[in-house]
């Protein structure tokens, strides 16, 4: 796999392998579909679900940080 990996496209093999590993951990590594087309669709939907999960997680962290910083600012100017 290392010899045939397209370096000019990916450049960082370890990052793509990490994403595959985390996706398998979160959403199981079994594919229940039997047909090749539906297997591809199942994998695609899992990747979409993983990306959605990451976006929601990042937005939650950013929103929590924003609310905490607003509370600190409100304390500094005397609202609380």
Please report, for the chain, the start and end positions of each structural domain, with discontinuous segments joined by +.
Answer: 7-77
Q: Is the pTM of this model over 0.85?
A: no
At 31 the three-state DSSP class reads coil
Tokens 């679900």 correspond to 49
Going through the chain in order, the beta strands assigned E by DSSP cover none
pLDDT of res. 65: 78
pLDDT in tens, the chain (80 residues): 777 777 776 667 778 788 889 888 888 888 888 999 999 999 899 989 999 988 888 888 888 877 777 666 665 555 54
CA distance 43 to 59: 24
CA distance 57 to 37: 30
Six token digits for residue 42? 């199942």
């Amino acid at each position: 796999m290392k010899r045939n990996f397209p370096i000019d496209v990916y450049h960082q093999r370890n990052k793509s392998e990490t994403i595959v590993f985390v996706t398998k951990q979160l959403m199981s590594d079994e594919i229940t579909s039997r047909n090749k087309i539906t297997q591809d669709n199942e994998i695609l939907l899992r990747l979409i679900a993983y990306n959605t999960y990451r976006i929601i997680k990042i937005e939650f962290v950013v929103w929590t940080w924003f609310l905490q910083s607003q509370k600190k600012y409100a304390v500094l100017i005397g609202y609380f």
